[in-house]
């Protein structure tokens, strides 16, 4: 067997990971047809070790293998030519280690602004370019958007990021903490902190209580619902449906204020720690939150239903920014952006988790347009509110259980662990490698935006340039999550 098969948050021995010749590894990647969730390097001895992590979503398994590039080997045949979902992974690997994927169709820098970036250009008398950013109005993070247009029609959009590369992965090697984990991406505090904590607990052999697990998941679903509600407000605002923008904005505040009541932070900072949680949810607080969320559900349902009956709103949403199922699948889109195009991936249900066994099998009518990305948010808001009610009602069953389990154990030595959590944008993936002293030597992070930015570029093609803000809001991708 040329792959070691494991599960989410289950460490494997580093020495048990097969090491293949890159040509053999490439052939197997193409043949077994699993989804890529990790493709990254690690400097070892006088060369670079390439690790590949593939997901079998139907079986809830992870496949791990590797290859070694000595100092004299600086290239291999690109996988992207056959499997486009690898295109960003190979670009990043080349940028960091100088090992070239020969024949890669779009080999440009991912984050390195010291290197020249040749933008794609379309020639013709009627073609003009529109550049937006990297500096934007207000508090938007930096990113450059280059449009190729004929009149108002967009033929191509190229997105350049990497303006705020913070070296987050190196910081995890130097000083891994919960505070760092919840600061990777400010609107996904719970998702990132949960993925990190689960990885550390797996490496340290910690089994947290059921009550602590439920409180974590309540916060995760509150984060999902809050951001999705805010996104509905942003979409409403960009269609000039101001009533919806105002109501969704106020409703989102009710959810994040409920998080504030639990832990003192509207974004959930300080709630999760390795070993459990720092704050409990009393029966009285649970009842108050459920009462608030009942109002949230009613307001979201009423406002969404009314908004989507408006002819002017529907005319802006339907058939705008379409990403077909075929393109979404090929590009490896994840999260709501993928599900809106029919790519049914959800880490909560696809990988074993005793708390998420009741997957909604009702088929979502995915058209891949802004309307679908709006509807999927509404569906997931209602799903999250239902899960929160379910988990809140289960809390009394575990009354008195420890919220935090202290463990002085060192992290397991010579291990490789992958931790996947379904954040509101999609799967957050954190991979850690430890040495023979149990010290973290490599951290690899994949934000869902790393998969999805190119989906936004595809969505804008053949649309009016004035539709870009609406398409952009319907994806709501992260700059800092991509830049790291």
The percentage of residues in the chain with a pLDDT greater than 90, rounded to a whole number, is 91
**pLDDT, position 407:** 78
Range(s) for CATH 1.10.645.10 in the chain? Answer: 168-483
Range(s) for CATH 3.30.460.80 in the chain? Answer: 4-102
pTM of the model: 0.96
224-265 tens-digit pLDDT: 999 999 999 999 999 999 999 999 999 999 999 999 999 999
The listed range with the strongest mean pLDDT (125-139, 217-231, 346-360) is 217-231
Average pLDDT over residues 21-32: 96
Confidence band of 441 (pLDDT split at 50, 70, 90): very high
Average pLDDT over residues 176-204: 97
Average pLDDT over residues 94-109: 96
pLDDT at 148 over 70: yes
Strands, E assignment, 266-315: 272-273, 276-277
Average pLDDT over residues 202-210: 96
Cβ neighbours of residue 333 under 8 Å, at least 6 residues apart? 323, 341, 343, 451, 452, 455
168-483 has which CATH code?
1.10.645.10
pLDDT at 140 over 90: no
Structural contact between residues 377 and 228, judged by C-beta atoms closer than 8 angstroms: yes
254-299 tens-digit pLDDT: 999 999 999 999 999 999 999 999 999 999 999 999 999 999 999 9
Cα gap 345→332, rounded to integer Å: 10
**pLDDT, position 394:** 96
pLDDT at 352 over 80: no
Average pLDDT over residues 157-186: 95
376-401 tens-digit pLDDT: 999 999 999 999 999 999 999 999 99
CA Rg value for the chain: 22
Cα gap 340→387, rounded to integer Å: 21
Mean pLDDT of the chain: 95
**Long-range CB contact pairs, 30-34, < 8 A, 24+:** 30/79, 30/82, 30/83, 32/3, 32/63, 34/63
**pLDDT, position 361:** 64
> Would you state the structure tokens that stand for residue 49, as one six-digit string?
């070790």
pLDDT at 83 over 70: yes
**pLDDT, position 336:** 97
**pLDDT, position 360:** 67
Pick the CATH number of 4-102 from 3.30.360.10, 3.40.50.300, 3.40.50.1820, 3.30.460.80: 3.30.460.80
**pLDDT, position 363:** 74
């Amino acid at each position: 067997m040329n792959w070691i098969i494991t599960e989410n948050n289950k460490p494997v021995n580093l020495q048990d990971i097969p090491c293949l010749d890159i040509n053999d590894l490439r052939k197997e990647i193409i043949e077994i047809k699993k989804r890529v969730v990790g493709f990254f390097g690690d400097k070892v001895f006088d060369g670079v070790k390439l690790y590949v992590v593939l997901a079998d979503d139907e079986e809830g398994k992870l496949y791990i293998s590797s290859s070694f590039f000595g100092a004299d080997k600086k290239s291999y045949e690109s996988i992207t030519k056959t499997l486009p979902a690898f295109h960003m992974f190979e670009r990043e690997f080349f940028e960091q280690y100088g090992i070239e994927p020969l024949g890669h169709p779009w080999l440009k820098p991912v984050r390195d602004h010291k290197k020249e970036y040749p933008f794609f250009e379309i020639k013709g008398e009627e073609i003009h370019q529109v550049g937006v950013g990297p500096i934007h109005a207000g508090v938007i993070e930096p990113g450059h958007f280059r449009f190729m247009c004929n009149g108002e029609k967009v033929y191509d959009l190229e997105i350049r990021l990497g303006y705020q590369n913070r070296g987050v992965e190196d910081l995890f090697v130097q000083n891994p903490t919960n505070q760092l984990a919840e600061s990777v991406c400010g609107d996904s505090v719970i998702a990132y902190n949960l993925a990190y904590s689960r990885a550390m607990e797996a490496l340290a052999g910690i089994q947290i209580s059921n009550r602590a697990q439920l409180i974590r998941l309540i916060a995760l679903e509150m984060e999902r619902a809050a951001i999705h509600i805010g996104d509905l407000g942003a979409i409403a605002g960009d269609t000039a449906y101001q009533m919806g923008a105002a109501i969704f904005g106020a409703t989102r505040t009710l959810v994040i204020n409920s998080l504030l009541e639990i832990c003192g932070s509207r974004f959930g900072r300080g709630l999760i720690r390795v070993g459990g949680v720092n704050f409990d949810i009393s029966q009285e607080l649970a009842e108050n939150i459920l009462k608030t969320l009942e109002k949230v559900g009613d307001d979201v349902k009423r406002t969404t239903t009314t908004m989507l009956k408006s002819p002017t709103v529907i005319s802006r949403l339907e058939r705008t920014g379409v990403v077909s199922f075929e393109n979404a699948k090929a590009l490896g889109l994840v999260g709501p952006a993928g599900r809106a195009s029919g790519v049914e991936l959800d880490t909560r249900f696809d990988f074993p988790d005793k708390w998420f066994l009741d997957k909604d099998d009702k088929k979502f009518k995915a058209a891949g347009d802004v309307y679908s990305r709006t509807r999927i948010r509404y569906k997931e808001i209602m799903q999250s509110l239902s899960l929160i009610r379910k988990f809140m009602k289960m809390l009394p069953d575990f009354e008195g259980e420890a919220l935090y389990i202290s463990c002085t154990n060192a992290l397991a030595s010579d291990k490789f662990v992958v931790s996947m959590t379904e954040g509101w944008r999609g799967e957050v993936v954190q991979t850690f490698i430890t040495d023979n002293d149990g010290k973290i030597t490599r951290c690899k992070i994949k934000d869902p935006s790393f998969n999805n930015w190119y989906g936004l570029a595809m969505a804008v093609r053949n649309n009016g340039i004035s539709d870009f803000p609406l398409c952009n809001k319907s994806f709501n991708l992260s700059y800092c999550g991509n830049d790291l």
